[in-house]
Amino acid sequence: MPPDPIACPVCLAPSARPLLEVDGRDYWACPECEARFLNPSHHPTRDAEHAQYMLHDNDEADIGYRRFLSRLAEPLLERLPPGASGLDYGCGPGPALAAMLREAGRGVALYDPLFRPEASVLAQSYDFVTCTEVAEHFHTPAAEFKRLRALVRPGGWLAIMTCFQTDDSRFANWHYRHDITHVVFYRDTTFRHLAENWGWRCEVPVKDVVLMQRPGHAP
């Protein structure tokens, strides 16, 4: 007998069902927002996450890494006025995106729960909030997105980069799944679903990048 549906941690719909078990871990799928996620009982510990993050070599001067981040930076900058101020949420130990945006004349504050846990920056609001290669790590994505939305001023942008999941038949062997810190996986339709529920505008300028605009006008 299949297990009962559970609540999706992304959209909170109470209808997520098992997707598959692989490497001793259970993955679930939400039919509402189309997110796929790891059973919370299999989430890594904070220490295990930190150890994995320290294996990443995200040097802010690395040309290849900057080219990768430009897929989000370029379309975002096209939508930002000069002098806009933002927050790089989940900036990690090497905040390359923030450096790129500052070089383009935008102010950027930094926050990361492990590497830059300055709570004061979360008490402010911004013209834009970036979240690059971070959303897949969220253990409680609905709560995280609620926080991110509150940080964006009317008319501002929430810019997210994460590798979109597209094919369940390839999920077990998908490289993105193999990172133990990746616990939730999104499709472009996931973000469109969220934006519709929030009443926000949603654009997908390139694969794996979503720009979501809060309604209203900046004061």
Taking alpha carbons only, the member of 109, 111, 106 closest to residue 77 is 106
The domain spanning residue 152 has which CATH number?
A: 3.40.50
CA-CA distances (angstroms) from residue 58 to 54, 69, 120, 131, 212?
Answer: 10, 11, 25, 15, 25
Average pLDDT over residues 37-58: 86
Pairing, β 25-29 against β 36-38: antiparallel
Query: What is the pLDDT, as a whole number, of residue 219?
Result: 58
Pairing, β 85-89 against β 152-161: unpaired
Q: Identify whether 88 is part of a domain.
A: yes
Q: Identify whether 130 is part of a domain.
A: yes
Query: What is the pLDDT, as a whole number, of residue 41?
Result: 93
Q: Identify whether 71 is part of a domain.
A: yes
Q: Identify whether 1 is part of a domain.
A: no
pLDDT in tens, 90-108: 999 889 999 999 999 999 9
Q: What six digits make up the tokens of 203?
A: 């654009």
Q: Identify whether 2 is part of a domain.
A: no
DSSP state of 135: G
The range of the structural domain enclosing residue 150 comes to 17-213
Q: Contact at 8 Å (CB) between 190 and 35?
A: yes
Is the model's pLDDT at 168 over the cut of 90? yes
Q: Identify whether 189 is part of a domain.
A: yes
CA torsion sign for 135, 22, 193, 70 is: positive
Look at the block and give the residue holding tokens 């719909």. Answer: 13
Q: Identify whether 5 is part of a domain.
A: no
What is the percent of the chain with per-residue pLDDT over 70, rounded to a whole number? 99
Look at the block and give the residue holding tokens 């605009």. Answer: 213
CA torsion sign for 186, 192, 198, 202 is: positive
> Domain total for the chain?
1
Is the model's pLDDT at 46 over the cut of 90? no
Mean of all residue pLDDT scores within the chain: 95
Residue 109's pLDDT band (boundaries 50, 70, 90)? very high
Q: Identify whether 122 is part of a domain.
A: yes
What is the percent of the chain with per-residue pLDDT over 90, rounded to a whole number? 88
As a whole number of angstroms, the distance between CA 201 and CA 194 comes to 10
pLDDT in tens, 62-93: 899 999 999 999 999 999 999 999 999 999 98
pTM above threshold 0.75 = yes
